[in-house]
Amino acid sequence: MPHIFWVLAVFLAVAGPVIWLWSYNEAIPSLSGRVEPWRLTASVALGKIQADKMSVQEYAESLLERIKARDEVVKAWAYLDEKRVIQEARLLDETPKKNRGPLHGLPIAVKDVIYTKDTPTQFNSPLYDGHFPKTDAASVRILRHAGALIFGKTTTTEFAAIHVGPKTRNPHDLLRTPGGSSSGSGAAIADFQISMALGIQTGGSLIRPASFNGIYGFKPTWNPVSREGRKIYALMYDTLGWYGRCVGDLVLLADIFGLQDDKDEEHAFQGIEGARFAICKTSIWPIAGPGTQDALARAADLLRSHGAEVHELELPSVFDDVPEWYRIGLHTEGRTSSLPEYRVGKDQIGQVLIEHVENSDNFTRKTQLMASDNLGRREAFIPRS
């Protein structure tokens, strides 16, 4: 029987921030003992809506109240039209049950690089102030068809390129960043302003805010969800993913987007005890901060204490070049994707994007193809037992 390895990638200890967030004054139960709807996870809220224990409008109004109380300091939203949200919530409540989709009434926030036909998509760029696409992105169309309530647009770094950030703050500590580029989505989930949100990753833009904000984030493998209808940065990396506050929340959208894994009943996960985890630190691990290194060590110890086997992988030396191959791909594909904005308004885009277009690193087409080929066949470098 082949060995089973579960790859462990820990960027921050999650438990502490989540517990801290629940210590906010706003999280203290009311005198009646009633749980405010804004505190609910997406899966619990959806269950209440489906069971007629909570209306879509009631849930939407609770979230809007939470946003009013917190967004002045957290600043997670790029665009939010309260009247539109309530109007759509009422329409969803009036929808006959036979016509309701599997996500009926579930509010979902959308990162502001993904097209939405009823709210502006502005990419955190002055070049796109008031820009209303005429159609939804494919991902948004799928969610609407499933009955989701597209709530509003969350902040992003400029064109999701992680260099020019929004004013969004980390709700755990307002002096700290929520991470990027999916800044608003991560902060809004962590601050209980929304229970589900879409994000995009090109180089950490999903998992970084999940880590910084102490929430659950899911970055699927490359290209299982359509990227049609969003601002492209680097086609070979861009991936749509999402955030929630529990694993069950993440599964909701995985099902709607039709994600499927190859079935392997013989090796189905049965629990932590006896499971084998692999830690892969890569060649750039030495530059990780002490907090990150300590978090990974503590995570490994925690797994061992619950009966898991934890092994450290040693990658062949050829993998030392992966960061450079990635950088070449990012810069050369960024040159293509940023050219329209460069032509129209060079003085209104960030310096990094200008450098992409002007090819400040002098990457040739041959170099780009070399990097792409090496990344594509990197699995061939791993020795098989």
Catalytic residues: 111, 181, 205
Answer whether 148's CB lies under 8 Å from 106's CB. yes
DSSP state of 114: B
Backbone φ and ψ of 74, nearest 5° = -85, -40
Beta bridge partners of 6: 277
* Alpha-carbon gap, residue 95 to 301, rounded angstroms: 50
* Alpha-carbon gap, residue 104 to 95, rounded angstroms: 9
* Alpha-carbon gap, residue 93 to 260, rounded angstroms: 31
* Alpha-carbon gap, residue 58 to 82, rounded angstroms: 13
* Alpha-carbon gap, residue 98 to 80, rounded angstroms: 30
Q: How many CB atoms lie within 10 A of CB 253?
A: 28
* Alpha-carbon gap, residue 189 to 195, rounded angstroms: 6
Answer whether 337's CB lies under 8 Å from 232's CB. yes
Nearest to 54 by CA among 36, 32, 79: 36
Specify burial of residue 258 (Cβ count, 10 A radius: 0-12, 13-18, 19+).
exposed
Q: How many CA atoms lie within 13 A of 309 on its CB side?
A: 8
- At 373, the amino acid letter reads D
Helices and strands per DSSP (H, E), number in the chain: 12, 9
Tokens of 318: 């050829």
Nearest to 70 by CA among 199, 168, 198, 212: 168
The DSSP H or E segment spanning 50 is helix 42-50
Answer whether 279's CB lies under 8 Å from 312's CB. yes
Q: DSSP for 164-183?
A: S--S--BTTBTTS---SSSH
